[in-house]
Structure 1
Amino acid sequence: MAQVIVLGAGMVGVSTALALQSRGHQVSLVDRRGIGRETSYGNAGAIQTEAVEPYAFPRDLPSILKVVLKRTNDVNWHLSSLGDFAAPLLRYWSHSAPTSHARISKLYAQIVQKADLYHQPLIEASGMRHLIEYGGYRCLFRTPALFEAAVTGAERVKAAWGVDFTAEDGATLAAAEPNLRCALAGAIHYGQVWTCRSPGALTAAYGRLFVARGGKFAYGDAQSLGQKGAGWHVRTEEGLEEAEHVVLALGPWSDQLALRFGYRIPLLRKRGYHRHYQLDKGPRTAMLDAERGTFLARMDQGLRLTTGAELTRRDGLIDLAQLKRSEAAARELFGALRPVETDPWFGDRPVIPDMLPVMGSAPNHSGLWFHFGHGHQGFTAGPSSAKIFADLFDGVESELTQGLSPRRFL
């Protein structure tokens, strides 16, 4: 049995703590704000088992020009922050080349494709089944050409990975979603995907399960991490927490702490926004408005609109341009919206330029471990990735863990 501190209580960190605990290790979970209060609170709430291929940066010139000229709501960027994201973005573009992306997807799919099977026992054990909806989500298209191209892409993914889907033309979509106020070209319905009505609450419930099983949670500052002899320590509200091993599962803050110990791990922070709304008649299932860069999901707080990616500094000013366009798109679909909160939420998604998370032991520090960089899919992949991490922690390596190792950045 090993003593382990897991830094970061988002979905990845909590799942890591649970997985190590299930192997008989003594685990403490430390976070500055609480369990499920950061990025794991703010995501779209889908357990996206269909997303077996990571989001690639566009390679064709028309799509690149749309990003550069800010003509798509998928991406917003700021010239004043270019120095912060230019280098990792260029590496992201390079890794998105077809041959490289295909190789990456073979590893990525092993984390994502059966993620629901690893969530299921935790959902049941934490008593949170009422938060899960099993009706899938729809990817909406407004123009026929883009709909046809998307169906062709979905057919390719189905042939390669077995991801099932239903292509719905405009009439079929209108019958399935009678509250839509405008005619659309069609939708791709991923019926096997699960959605969650409160991703922050589900993460918090997993954290309570960890504590109920004998784990310890403490509020503490990860930046206080230091070495003590052959082990590690971190300051918490309850005093100094010490252990033989420490796991950095801090999401978009992980690279900063890793750099303190000499590890320069490239990380691209994609900021996203969400806000909740009341409306008279909304969608029956979650939806991605593919041409407007907006995810619409029914939450306990109301209809959550989640935006695409904003490339800015960590401390960059709030820019509501994407959210305003998302609101306009949602009004086209369903009519008037009434905001629930005064201010929207925003947070960062941690993306490694090669689109794969960082998992494994630090090359030059005994007992220091990395588990972060899951991009848009930390909520989806937390439990499945944690199982892979726990195997690696206990000495079981594989081709997958070799591909995720932090040694790839040396």
Structure 2
Amino acid sequence: MKFDAIVLGGGIVGTSVALQLQRRGVKVALVDRKAPGNETSLGNAGLIQREGVYPYAFPRDFASLARYAGNRATDARYHPMAIPKLAPFLFKYWHHSRADRHAQIAKAYSTLIEHSVSEHRALIEAAGAQNLLRKGGWIKAFRTNRAFENAVVEASRWADEYGVEYDILQDDTLRRAEPSISSVLRAAVRYSASDSVSDPAGLVDAYAKLFEQLGGTILLGDAFTLQPGWRVNTQSGMAEAEYVVLAMGPWSGDLTSKLGYSLPLEVKRGYHMHYAAQPGATLNQPVLDAEVGYMITPMLRGIRLTTGVELGFRDSPKTPVQLEAVEPIARDVFPLGERLDAEPWLGRRPCTPDMMPVIGPAPHHKNLWFAFGHAHHGLTLGPITGRVIAEAITGEAATVDLRPFRADRF
């Protein structure tokens, strides 16, 4: 089976790359071991974060470091056995998180973020998936005045630097926005220019269906059979193409290592669980309980509770202690009913130490392209990543300068 391009990885990034290439007349095969949207892209909070110009940094103040070191924080936990392996990565992450370095990273990162909502909306309209889109932003809510005031200062700075839109919700305005939320959340910043979706996996599926309608081919196969030339084994036979795009999320490092690259890619693990809402209770938009570190989001399946970060080996068994810790807190904030899932879902966010994705050509292989390492913003950046990869491969004028995201920066 001969194609112009093979995209390895059927998450939001890989599916978006395949779709953006196919829309430009490139004959594309999308290859994964599962149907699109059934790994990391299945389990996020559904946010398309136009405000996310500053990627999530490693804490540098002593008080935060001491709190996390005790391994009892609700927003971040770690597996002690994994820390020796993760230590070099975490040190580099800490290094890049210094305020001046973080600000420089934001200048590059914002060039992607500014297109996140518009690119999603264009694909959502083309895919006929408007029923999954929720406009109007998301709420970052606080329990104490001090934390709220710090968040307002931060939002104001982001607005001045990058045009990030936000609203202030206090007392009656917060109650009107979310009447079922407890008054323990006293005030909030709403990032009004962001969007969210009610079924992230369903959105990937809608993009995949549009890809097929445009003539694209979805194949089940093993990306690790990739051979230069470029060929990969699938259940339907050998697929060959001139170009290959590696967009395998947290598994990308395994294949790049096989190809001779040493890229600093680790994972942040996270969990979710769905709940019924108690009779009469409504949740209108995603709400982050910022000082505890979990989010509740209205999804088609129910209210999705997503946890913070768990640092550990990618393939270690589930240890959903964060979910168990925050569930009773979340029940005090919103009237959650019964659990709807048989067990917590575990996902793995692929991360680089400078908080930016790897997007661009492979340094040592012709016609091999990388698109991974999007950390918390995989859903947010999927379509714009797909667009810039497609533009580069087809020779179109570039929407975004890819030089800051190239693999050879490491």
**TM-score if structure 1 supplies the norm length?**
0.96
Q: How does 1:196-235 map to 2 (within 5 A)?
A: 196-227=197-228, 231-235=229-233
The equivalent of 1:319 in structure 2 is: 319
Which piece of structure 1 moves more, 352-361 or 390-399? 390-399
Which residue does 1:242 correspond to in 2? 240
* 1:84–1:312 CA contact under 8 A, matched in 2: no
Q: Which residue of 1 aligns with 2:263?
A: 265
**Partners of 2:354 and 2:391 in 1: how far apart?**
23
One-letter amino acid of the counterpart of residue 143, structure 1? T
Aligned residue number for residue 256 of structure 1:
254
Q: Does 1:52 align with 2:53?
A: yes
Structure 1, unpaired ranges of 5+: none
Separation in structure 2 between the aligned mates of residue 61 and residue 130 of structure 1, nearest angstrom:
45
Aligned residue number for residue 83 of structure 2: 82
Cα contact 1:139–1:188 (8 A) shared by 2: yes
Instruction: Name the aligned partner's letter for residue 251 of structure 1.
Output: G
Distance of 2:32 and 2:136 partners within structure 1: 33
Q: Which amino acid aligns with 2:241?
A: A
Letter in 2 for 1:279: A
Give a deviation string over 1:336-358, Cα, whole Å, max 9, x none. 43100111111100111111111
* 2:330 aligned residue: 330
Aligned to 2:35: 34
CA contact (8 A) 2:111 2:400 kept: no
Q: How many Å separate the matches in 1 of 2:150 and 2:100?
A: 20
* TM-fit CA distance, 1:282: 3.6
The 5-angstrom pairing of residues 123-202 of structure 1 reads 123-202=124-203
SS of the residue corresponding to residue 189 of structure 2 reads strand
Whether the aligned pair in 1 keeps the contact of 2:250 and 2:350 (CA below 8 Å) is: yes
CA displacement, residues 310-330 of structure 1 (integer Å, 9 cap, x when unaligned): 001122121111111221221
| 1:167 match: secondary structure | strand
Q: Secondary structure at the match of 2:402?
A: helix
Aligned to 1:406: 407
1:10 to partner: Cα distance: 0.6
> Which consecutive unaligned segments of at least 5 residues does structure 2 have?
none
Alpha-carbon separation, structure 2, partners of 1:112 and 1:202? 19
Q: 2: CA distance between counterparts of 1:143 and 1:282?
A: 24
* TM superposition shift of 1:362: 1.5
Structure 2 CA distance for aligned equivalents of residues 132 and 301 of structure 1:
15
| 1:108 alignment partner in structure 2 | 109
Q: Say if 1:91 and 1:354, in contact at 8 Å, map to a contact too.
A: yes
The residue type paired with residue 227 of structure 2 is G
Give yes or no for the alignment of 1:277 onto 2:278.
no
- Counting aligned pairs with the same residue, the percent is 42
Q: 1:243 & 1:31 partners in 2: Cα distance?
A: 16
Q: Deviations over 1:198-219 (max 9, x none)?
A: 0000101100100110011100
Q: Corresponding residue for 2:373?
A: 373
SS in 2 for 1:304: strand
Contact kept in structure 2, 1:274 and 1:323, CA below 8 Å: yes
Q: Secondary structure at the match of 1:263?
A: coil
| Inter-partner Cα distance in structure 1 for 2:325 and 2:90 | 24
Q: Deviations over 1:210-236 (max 9, x none)?
A: 011001110001111112xxx211110
User: CA–CA distance in 2 between the matches of 1:397 and 1:408?
Assistant: 19
Letter paired with 2:369? W
Q: Note the C-alpha offset of 1:24.
A: 2.1
Aligned partners of 1:184, 1:24: CA distance in 2, in Å? 50
Partners of 1:181 and 1:364 lie apart in 2 by 55
Asked whether the equivalents of residues 170 and 183 of structure 1 are also in contact (C-alpha less than 8 Å), the reply is no
| Secondary structure in 1 matching 2:30 | strand
Equivalent residues of 1:78, 1:311 under 8 A apart: yes
Q: Are the aligned partners of 2:6 and 2:241 in contact in 1 as well (CA < 8 Å)?
A: yes
RMSD over aligned CA atoms reads 1.6
- TM-score, normalising length from structure 2? 0.96
Q: Which moved more, 1:379-388 or 1:296-305?
A: 379-388
Q: Does 1:306 align with 2:329?
A: no
Deviations 1:246-284 (A, max 9, x none): 111000000110000110111120001001000211422
Contact 2:220 2:234 in 1 (8 A): yes
Instruction: Count the aligned residue pairs.
Output: 406
Distance 1:25 1:19 in 2: 9
For residues 394 and 208 of structure 1, the distance between their equivalents in structure 2, rounded to whole angstroms, comes to 22
Give me the whole-angstrom Cα distance separating, in 2, the residues matched to 1:165 and 1:362: 38
